[in-house]
């Protein structure tokens, strides 16, 4: 059942909603916490303007980098209460990753810039402000045309997804109980991931989990002059670099004993699933901006992204990184890395392996410095039934809008609350992405193609109509 023609107003609202990109809702930076709150209030006002009943749910406080901060509120919304209709829960997040022009952006990251070829550049354009604006487009069209929605909708938008969704699991579990906001939800839809390439839309039935760690190494009481103290003391940076070099090799193999070994090898029938996907080595190299794929085998690359764990080194806190040639020995440094998890891995069964290994390797150094390991945040992996009627509705919506059959994929990224929704509510979750594989989420020059924004908004609206027409309830 196709949606009414022009059931989104995305082509006329790109610029009018650009104020949301100007804000800097970076959840991982304390100095931008006010912007995350401002973004929450902006989004709540938008929802209310289209007839959505809303509630700002206080998630409490947390400690980040030694500072106690209020958590941004989660926005709960609902529109429609017809018991004869299905009820779908829509999730998204309004916080973003850090971004600075000096990182290598071609445009100001927090100013929406439309290129001559129709690409929309700005932090959060594809992850995840663009898809949220797509849902607003659907609501706006129905409100302005006084058109009844084909399903009841519940919303859950959060401002801490990029920092582990702190506080959200507890809220979802509470609201899923009898009398709670999510009690009558039949299915869940999330638009917070991407196509594999720039050609073929996808539906996603699996996500990797994540365990994010910091290795803290301290020694001197303060920063020291390398000309005075070099080769006279144990230097924290030396210890840290040696430890980080022992976590992963150049082929991506995880060197922490027991982590890779948790995951069984793929059988031939599973490898055939990846062979059928519309993907080529050129796709990942184009998205990465260089001919740097670990393998020339498409199946191995796809499995490396979707069904195998990975370990990535992210940065060193406390080290000198500015212009010039400062000859400092830092007194305290922290190395950051994460492991993307796949079933049967969880943060709980990976953490002790990481801790034991790093403690063992640090002991081998014979250093007089102090090393501690901190787990910053974590989330379990998730897999769904791709033959559920929720997926069938999303497949038909994709056929209606894009005139092709979507690829069925597992995604390499993590959305920690996905599994919580599935388990707490007992409902099927579908990931229905808007953006392309080359959008550069979390990277410099993040973008969303205007065509994907417009057609993606239509896709979200059409999905609601297909959901309303298909047989089945929870």
Q: Give backbone dihedrals phi and psi of 21, rounded to 5 degrees, phi first.
A: -80, -25
If you count DSSP H runs as helices and E runs as strands, how many of each does the chain have, helices first? 14, 20
Spatial contact of 89 and 425, defined as CB atoms under 8 Å apart: yes
Secondary structure of 403-464 in HEC code, one letter for each residue = CCCCEEEEECCCCCHHHHHHHHHCCEEEECCCECCCCCCCCCCCEEEHHHHHHHHHHHHHHH
Catalytic-labelled residue, pool 95, 127, 192, 407: 95
Spatial contact of 166 and 160, defined as CB atoms under 8 Å apart: yes
Place of tokens 């990224």: 413
Residues 6+ apart with CB under 8 A from 125: 21, 112, 439, 446, 447, 448
Pairing between β-strand 187-190 and β-strand 87-93 as defined by DSSP bridges: parallel
- What are the distances in angstroms from CA 402 to CA 406, 421, 460? 9, 28, 12
Q: Give backbone dihedrals phi and psi of 429, rounded to 5 degrees, phi first.
A: -120, 130
- C-alpha closest to that of 70 among 104, 105, 27, 108: 27
Spatial contact of 315 and 209, defined as CB atoms under 8 Å apart: no
- Scored b (16 or more CB within 10 A) or e, 227-236 reads eeeeeeeebb
Known active-site residue 95: yes
Q: Give backbone dihedrals phi and psi of 304, rounded to 5 degrees, phi first.
A: -65, -30
Catalytic-labelled residue, pool 35, 127, 158, 161: 161
In this structure, the chain runs to a length of: 474
Known active-site residue 161: yes
DSSP-assigned beta bridge partners for residue 77: 54, 155
DSSP-assigned beta bridge partners for residue 53: 78
Pairing between β-strand 152-158 and β-strand 87-93 as defined by DSSP bridges: parallel
DSSP 268-326: HHHHHHHHTSS--HHHHHHHHTSS--S-S-HHHHHHHHHTS-EEEEEEEETS--SSS--
Q: Give backbone dihedrals phi and psi of 62, rounded to 5 degrees, phi first.
A: -150, 170
Q: Which residues are catalytic?
A: 95, 161
């Amino acid at each position: 059942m196709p949606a009414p023609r022009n059931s989104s107003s995305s082509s006329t609202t790109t610029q009018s909603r650009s104020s949301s990109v100007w804000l800097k809702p970076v959840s991982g930076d304390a100095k931008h916490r006010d912007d995350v709150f401002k973004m929450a209030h902006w989004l709540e006002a938008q929802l209310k303007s289209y007839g959505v009943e809303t509630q700002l749910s206080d998630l409490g406080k947390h400690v980040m980098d030694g500072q106690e901060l209020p958590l941004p509120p989660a926005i709960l919304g609902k529109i429609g209460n017809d018991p004869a209709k299905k009820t779908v829960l829509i999730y998204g997040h309004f916080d973003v990753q850090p971004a600075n022009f000096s990182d290598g952006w071609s445009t100001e990251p927090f100013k929406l810039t439309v290129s001559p070829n129709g690409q929309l550049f700005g932090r959060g354009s594809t992850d995840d402000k663009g898809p949220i604006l797509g849902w607003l487009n659907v609501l706006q069209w129905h409100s302005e045309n006084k058109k009844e929605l084909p399903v009841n909708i519940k919303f859950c938008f959060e401002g801490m997804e990029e920092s582990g969704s702190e506080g959200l699991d507890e809220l979802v579990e509470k609201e899923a109980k009898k009398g709670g906001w999510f009690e009558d939800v039949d299915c869940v839809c999330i638009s917070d991931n991407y196509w594999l390439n720039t050609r073929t839309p996808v539906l996603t039935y699996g996500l990797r989990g994540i365990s994010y760690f910091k290795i803290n190494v301290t020694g001197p009481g303060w920063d020291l002059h390398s000309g005075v103290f070099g080769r006279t003391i144990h230097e924290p940076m030396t210890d840290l670099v040696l430890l980080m070099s022992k976590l992963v090799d150049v082929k991506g193999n995880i060197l922490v004993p027991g982590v890779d070994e948790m995951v069984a090898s793929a059988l031939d029938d599973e490898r055939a699933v990846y062979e059928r996907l519309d993907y080529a080595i050129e796709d990942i190299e184009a998205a990465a901006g260089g001919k740097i794929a670990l393998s020339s085998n498409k199946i191995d690359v796809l499995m490396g992204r979707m069904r195998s764990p990975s370990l990535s080194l992210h940065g060193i806190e406390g080290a000198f990184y500015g212009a010039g040639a400062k000859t400092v020995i830092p007194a305290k440094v922290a190395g950051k890395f994460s492991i993307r998890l796949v079933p049967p891995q969880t943060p709980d069964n990976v953490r002790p392996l990481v801790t034991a290994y790093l403690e063992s390797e640090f002991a081998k150094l014979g250093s007089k410095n102090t090393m501690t390991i901190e787990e910053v945040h974590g989330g379990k992996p998730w897999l769904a039934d791709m033959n559920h009627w929720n997926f069938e509705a999303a497949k038909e919506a994709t056929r209606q809008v894009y005139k092709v059959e979507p690829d069925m994929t597992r995604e390499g990224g993590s959305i920690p609350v996905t599994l919580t929704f599935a388990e707490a509510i007992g409902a099927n979750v579908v990931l229905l992405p808007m953006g392309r594989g080359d959008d550069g989420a979390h990277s410099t020059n993040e973008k969303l193609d205007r065509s994907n924004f417009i057609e993606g908004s239509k896709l979200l609206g059409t999905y609601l109509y297909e959901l309303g027409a298909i047989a089945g309830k929870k």
